[in-house]
Amino acid sequence: GGRNIRTRKGGGGGGGGGSNGSSSNVTPGSTIAGGTITGGQSIDGFGVTSGFGMRNIMGRGPRMHWGVDYGTPQGTKLSLKKPGKVIETTVPAIGNNGAIYIQHDDGSKSRYLHMSAVAVSPGERVEAGGFIGKTGGQPGTPGAGPTTGPHLHFEYFPPGASGPVDGSGVASSIFSAGG
């Protein structure tokens, strides 16, 4: 069978994205209301469970791990510290990686994977403190994708970069967890 993945991409012009595409297995509540979060903490307090670079990924041999994994509990709220515009989202469903991809005002980009809920839409502007979604990763839950346990996979793209770099040194200046 195929994978039912619903990805939404932002277009030109302002305003939020609409309901672009559909999936028969999207779990109700996977897309949730946004808002502002206060009381978030540094992601550094959750600890890195898997760093950026080559590693044996889920027993498949050496592979490049393009992000930094943080040991966040399932459902941890994420909010931006660095404002930006949502480029793309993948609404969490069974069998996919719930995802949020942001273009920040300084030209950098950040991507968040294994999201259990998405609170933003492509094309939407998110200010500092803006709630973007909830972390996931618990195997068998919507948006978890291939994973061994709850966590956040974070990717950082510096301005002008063609691919991600180790974002562990800048993550706490880009987003907050909890609140």
pTM of the model: 0.82
- The chain-wide mean pLDDT, for the chain, equals 84
pLDDT given for residue 9 in this prediction: 52
Q: Give Dmax (Cα) for the chain.
A: 44
Q: Between 142 and 18, whose confidence is greater?
A: 142
**CA distances in angstroms from 135 to 83, 152, 153, 161, listed in the order given:** 19, 6, 9, 25
pLDDT given for residue 28 in this prediction: 40
Task: Kindly state the average pLDDT of the residues 44-66.
Answer: 88
Given pLDDT bands bounded at 50, 70 and 90, which one contains residue 26?
very low
Q: Does pLDDT of 130 surpass 90?
A: yes
Specify burial of residue 56 (Cβ count, 10 A radius: 0-12, 13-18, 19+): exposed
Q: Does pLDDT of 162 surpass 70?
A: yes
Structure tokens at 155: 């990717």
Amino acid identity, residue 72? T
Q: Does pLDDT of 32 surpass 80?
A: no
Which residues, other chains included, contact 71 with Cβ-Cβ below 8 Å and sequence gap of 6+? 46, 47, 48, 49, 150, 151
Q: Between 82 and 10, whose confidence is greater?
A: 82
Q: Does pLDDT of 172 surpass 50?
A: yes
Task: Kindly state the average pLDDT of the residues 152-160.
Answer: 97
Question: Using CA atoms, how far apart are residues 92 and 74, in angstroms rounded to an integer?
Answer: 13
- Size of the chain, expressed as the number of residues it contains: 179
Q: Does pLDDT of 80 surpass 90?
A: yes
Q: Which of 115, 124, 129, 122 lies closest to 174, judged by CA?
A: 129
Number of Cβ within 10 Å of residue 169's Cβ equals 11
pLDDT given for residue 55 in this prediction: 84
Query: Among the residues of the chain, which ranges form H helices?
Result: 171-174
Lowest mean pLDDT among 92-96, 121-125, 163-167: 92-96
Q: Does pLDDT of 10 surpass 70?
A: no
pLDDT given for residue 38 in this prediction: 75
Task: Kindly state the average pLDDT of the residues 94-107.
Answer: 94
